[in-house]
């Protein structure tokens, strides 16, 4: 890693660290019902929403009612988005006359955006109307992110309750997440994006004259180009803030209308990391012990930094095949060098690789470079981060409740080592919590590996792969990992817009979201009913550097034991083939 790469990566990490405490403090205040500053502005409107929706904001829910509310809301969201796509040709704000979306693609997209996955088997500018983009994708970007934060807050309440039965009110948590956190930041960021040249318009696509005419594949001279526009800025802001990642355009943040300047490059990547990082502090603040939050942040960062280094180093080292072709991959003052295939020259190696690492660590899924074109080890990094469970730093909310699954497993293993009943925050971790944590860790992994295996055995699955051999395996493995991890990014070589891939991916997306949420809420309900035991000399301290390392090792080992054989047959084999070993 050269000096330029090091400076860029450090800049992003320091910016993320700087915002962690103040933003985390603000989010904690919001969910405690205080909502500083904006509470005076939107407090009346919040109460009005509860009144017209028939919600009693003071009513508390047990974990089963809370889970039922999550499932009902998500089911209604899936159905609404599905039918919106199916009838978009009959609705307004469709200046380019988009036709109805096919049933299998509409199902996949509805499930994807409702679960904060934002996997896209389509090109946004060629498939969805303005109304579908705004009232479908953008609305679900807000809603799915708010659901993730609501489940996180419910878990925190369960951990801090003493012999209680309730963990909060889902509808209140959902409303506060949107009204006081996601919406204000998104509006401000969208205005900044518009100032940088990102479109926000209802005008139809624009036809422009080419500065330099060219010929198409048939030898015909092309003098004009149709450029898609639309309400881009409003979707772009929330897709990054809410760790959604679904792009307005097919190439996502690699498109100059989604990412036109160095400032937009920085802001988009910064906000991918900002809220997930800040929620670590929120976690500790709401528990009354900020050290616990910093432990989670430190364990995540302990894994994240080596991943960034490996991705940047691998891409900067370049591809031996290019060297044999006489391509100069040397870093200099005039070029970034390294493996620039599939990368925007404006971003270069460092930002491209850091972006690819950050968005797969946070379940964002937006891309500024094509992961399919990375070197094998460079492509292994996003694959590993997704398969570790999207907990480094994870999506908004789901990163925290996801890592708590590993905390329970880590505390349980530590208890076995010293022969004591495991405890966390003074509450005993018993068989029920360990079983639920195991379900949350194993069910999505099963669907990832099962889906990959099926796709490599049947003709409809193989037909979607652009490559054979180790790289073809990596494409299929990455796709199902992205679905099961609710990430949304993809190896660009896969053609997933077929009934087989749409259906299988939709089922995997469902398992990756709700087979984690429901066990986590069950854990919250169980912990809420337990009393707090005072610490004793034999209690494992969970706020020390030792526990940071132990937690990080637990995350890596569980992920490695589950997926290492698959990684070995894909990216690892491909790396040895690339270097001729």
- What's the rounded mean pLDDT across residues 139-149? 95
12-21, 217-226, 326-335, 406-415: the lowest-pLDDT one: 326-335
How many other β-carbons are positioned within 10 Å of the β-carbon of residue 194? 17
Q: How many angstroms separate the CA atoms of 248 and 64, rounded?
A: 36
The predicted structure's pLDDT at residue 548 = 95
Structure tokens at 388: 């570790």
Chain segment 394-442, per-residue pLDDT in tens: 889 899 999 999 999 999 998 888 777 788 988 899 999 999 999 998 8
DSSP string covering 444-503, please? HHHHHHHHHHHHTTSHHHHTT-S--HHHHHHHHHHHHHHHHTT-----TT----SHHHHH
Structure tokens at 322: 């290019």
Structure tokens at 6: 């090091």
Q: Which of 388, 397, 398 is nearest to 357 (CA)?
A: 388
Domain positions in the chain:
3-213+222-579
The predicted structure's pLDDT at residue 233 = 95
Are 483 and 117 a contacting pair, CB within 8 Å?
A: yes
Q: Between helices 499-528 and 63-86, what is the axis angle to 10°?
A: 160
DSSP string covering 507-520, please? HHHHHHHHHHHHHH
Q: How many angstroms separate the CA atoms of 551 and 424, rounded?
A: 13
Q: How many angstroms separate the CA atoms of 496 and 498, rounded?
A: 6
Chain segment 528-564, per-residue pLDDT in tens: 999 888 877 777 888 999 999 999 999 998 877 888 8
Q: How many angstroms separate the CA atoms of 182 and 172, rounded?
A: 15
Q: Is the pLDDT of residue 8 over 70?
A: yes
Q: Is the pLDDT of residue 36 over 80?
A: no
CA distances from 48 to 45, 56, 150, 335 (A): 5, 11, 20, 57
Chain mean position to CA 298? 19
Please report where in the chains the tokens 């696509």 appear, as a residue. Answer: 205
Band (581; pLDDT cuts 50, 70, 90) = low
Q: Is the pLDDT of residue 580 over 80?
A: no
Share of the chain above pLDDT 90, in %: 64
Please report where in the chains the tokens 């409003």 appear, as a residue. Answer: 234
pTM for this model (two decimals): 0.93
The predicted structure's pLDDT at residue 440 = 92
Q: Is the pLDDT of residue 178 over 90?
A: yes
Are 179 and 42 a contacting pair, CB within 8 Å?
A: yes
DSSP 3-state of 435: helix
DSSP string covering 157-203, please? HHHH-SS------HHHHHHHIIIIIIHHHHHHHHHHHHHTT--B---
Return the H-helix or E-strand segment holding 210. strand 206-215
Averaged pLDDT score across all residues of the chain: 91
Chain segment 48-100, per-residue pLDDT in tens: 999 999 999 999 999 999 999 999 999 999 999 999 999 999 999 999 999 99
Strand partners, 427: 424
Residue 551, C-beta contacts closer than 8 angstroms, at least 6 positions apart: 295, 296, 299, 403, 406, 407, 410
CA distances from 27 to 161, 179, 326 (A): 19, 12, 53
- What's the rounded mean pLDDT across residues 229-236? 94
């Amino acid at each position: 890693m050269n000096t330029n790469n090091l400076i860029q990566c450090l800049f992003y990490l320091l910016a993320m660290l700087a915002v962690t405490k103040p933003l985390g403090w603000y989010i904690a205040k919001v969910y405690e019902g205080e909502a500083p500053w904006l509470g005076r502005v939107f407090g009346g409107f919040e109460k009005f929403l509860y009144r017209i929706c028939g919600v009693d904001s003071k009513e508390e829910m047990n974990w089963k009612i809370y889970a039922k509310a999550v499932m009902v809301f998500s089911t209604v969201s899936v159905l609404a988005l599905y039918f919106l796509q199916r009838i978009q040709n009959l609705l307004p704000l469709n200046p380019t006359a988009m036709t109805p979306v096919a049933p299998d693609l509409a199902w996949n997209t509805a499930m994807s955006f409702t679960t904060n996955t934002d996997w896209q088997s389509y090109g946004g500018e060629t498939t969805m109307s303005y109304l579908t983009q705004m009232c479908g994708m953008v609305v679900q970007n807000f809603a799915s992110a708010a659901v993730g934060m609501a489940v996180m807050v419910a878990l925190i309440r369960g951990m801090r309750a003493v012999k209680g039965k309730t963990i909060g009110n889902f509808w209140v948590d959902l409303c506060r997440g949107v009204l006081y956190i996601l919406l204000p930041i998104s509006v401000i960021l969208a205005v900044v994006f518009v100032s940088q040249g990102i479109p926000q318009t209802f005008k139809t696509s624009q036809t422009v004259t080419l500065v330099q005419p060219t010929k198409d594949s048939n030898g015909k001279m092309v003098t004009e180009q149709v450029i898609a526009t639309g309400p881009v800025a409003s979707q772009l802001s929330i897709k990054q803030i809410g760790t959604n990642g679904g792009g307005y355009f097919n190439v996502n943040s690699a498109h100059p209308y989604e990412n036109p300047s160095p400032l937009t490059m920085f802001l988009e990547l910064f906000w991918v990391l900002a809220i997930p990082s800040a929620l670590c502090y929120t976690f500790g603040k709401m528990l009354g012990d900020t050290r616990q939050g910093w432990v989670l942040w430190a364990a995540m960062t302990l894994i994240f930094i080596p991943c960034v280094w490996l991705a940047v180093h691998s891409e900067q080292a370049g591809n031996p095949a290019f060297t044999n072709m006489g391509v100069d991959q040397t870093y200099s003052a005039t070029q970034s060098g390294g493996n620039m295939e599939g990368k925007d020259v404006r971003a270069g190696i460092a930002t491209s690789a850091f972006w690819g690492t950050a968005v797969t660590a946070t379940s964002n899924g937006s891309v500024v470079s094509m992961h399919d074109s990375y070197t094998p080890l460079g492509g292994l990094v996003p694959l590993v981060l997704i398969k570790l469970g999207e907990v480094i730093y994870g999506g908004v909310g789901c990163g925290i409740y996801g890592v708590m699954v590993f905390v329970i497993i880590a505390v349980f293993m530590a208890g076995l080592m010293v022969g004591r009943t495991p405890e966390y925050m003074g509450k005993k971790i018993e068989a029920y919590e360990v079983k639920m944590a195991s379900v949350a860790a194993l069910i999505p992994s099963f669907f990832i590996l099962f889906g990959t295996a099926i796709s490599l055995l049947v003709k409809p699955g193989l037909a979607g792969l652009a490559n054979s051999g180790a790289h073809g395996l990596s494409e299929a493995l990455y796709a199902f990992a992205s679905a099961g991890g609710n990430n949304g990014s993809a190896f660009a070589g896969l053609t997933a817009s077929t009934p087989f891939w749409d259906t299988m991916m939709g089922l995997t997306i469902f398992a990756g979201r709700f087979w984690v949420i429901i066990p986590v809420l069950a854990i919250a309900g169980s912990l809420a009913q337990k009393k707090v035991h005072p610490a004793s000399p034999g209690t494992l301290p969970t706020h020390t550097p030792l526990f940071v390392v132990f937690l990080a090792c637990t995350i890596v080992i569980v992920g490695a034991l589950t997926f290492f054989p698959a990684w070995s047959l894909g990216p690892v084999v491909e790396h040895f083939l690339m270097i001729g070993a």
